[in-house]
A and B are shown apart, each in its own frame.
Chain A
Amino acid sequence: MLFAIGAIASAIFTITRRNPVSAAMSLVGHFFMLTGLYLTLSAEFVAAVQVLVYAGAIMVLVIFVIMLLNLGNEEQLTERVNMRKTFGALLGTLLAAQIIFMVTVKPTGMNELSKQAAAIGTTESIGQTLFTSYLFPFEAVSLLLLAALIGAVILAKRQLQ
């Protein structure tokens, strides 16, 4: 419950802060709240990976780019086109109404964690499955990461025009 409120609050902070650095910091907070939520679902491995990959790697990348581009300028950030804001609010309400309607109109009725929940959340069980039934997707993902790495380096090196 606490984690849920924290997660929603930090998510809202993320999209409302004008300064990109404080938005990034709220996003880090959000990732930690999600880690707590994963732990309440007894998914230890995912919780650990969440901290390492998101709060560690991805956010360092984001903050590094923010620093590199020197985006702290407040007067540059006089943003918001009004029509865009209205459209966003409309779209958001619509989407929220749809999803929450779907969830509430047909409750799943599952109130207890599965008995195996703690067993499947461990690194051992994840690794076991990852290297047996999910071996091919695993290799494909490693290839994807390699391609992304090379692509990122080339994109960042080259001039646009």
Chain B
Amino acid sequence: MLPTTIPLDYYLILSAVLFVIGTVGVVTRRNAIIIFMSLELMLNAVNLTMVAFSSFLGDVAGQMFVFFIMAVAAAEAAVGLAIVLALYRGKQTVYVDEVNIMKW
């Protein structure tokens, strides 16, 4: 076991910073693929929180959740990228502000 002196709060702050970076990425970018990558950033920030709590509280449930989040993230990435492909075929663009078929 690695002896650690890093307090839990530092992990939480780091994870908060990463989550915010992901949010800013989702809001500011136009490229749908980069928006997906920012979503992965946000999911990873949450995963970090889960693992940190799991290790500090000595409870395996947090790591189980991370496992399930990873599975859902993989499913989301597969479906999302398929949608991007379909979109590109129909519209020749991956920029989200040029796609307005669902806008009223």
Contact = CB atoms under 8 A, between A and B. Distances in A.
A137 to B, nearest CB: 6
A92 B82 CA distance: 29
Given A71-B31, A84-B27, A114 B12 contact: no
A156 B82 contact: yes
B81 A71 contact: no
26 contacts: A11-B41, A15-B21, A42-B4, A42-B55, A43-B54, A43-B63, A46-B47, A62-B36, A69-B85, A80-B30, A88-B24, A88-B28, A108-B7, A108-B9, A112-B56, A114-B58, A117-B55, A117-B56, A120-B54, A120-B55, A120-B58, A121-B55, A121-B63, A125-B60, A152-B78, A160-B91
B8 to A, nearest CB: 4
B4 A113 contact: yes
Scoring B14, B22, B38, B59 by chain A CB atoms within 10 A of each residue's CB, the highest score goes to B14
Interface in A81-98: 81, 84-85, 87-89, 91-92, 95-96
A16 B74 CA distance: 24
B95 A79 contact: yes
Interface of B: 1-2, 4-14, 16-25, 27-31, 33-34, 36-38, 40-41, 44, 47-48, 51-52, 54-61, 63-64, 66-68, 70-79, 81-91, 94-95, 97
A40 B2 contact: yes
Scoring B52, B56, B58, B78 by chain A CB atoms within 10 A of each residue's CB, the highest score goes to B78
B53 to A, nearest CB: 9
Interface of A is mostly: helix
Contact of A81 (B9, B81, B84, B97): B97
B34 A23 contact: yes
A53 B70 contact: yes
A148 B79 contact: yes
A31 B44 contact: yes
B62 to A, nearest CB: 9
A74 to B, nearest CB: 13
B99 to A, nearest CB: 10
Given A8-B17, A11-B18, 18 more contacts: A4-B10, A8-B21, A14-B38, A15-B29, A15-B41, A58-B77, A65-B84, A65-B85, A69-B84, A79-B31, A92-B24, A108-B8, A110-B57, A112-B4, A118-B2, A129-B64, A155-B79, A156-B82
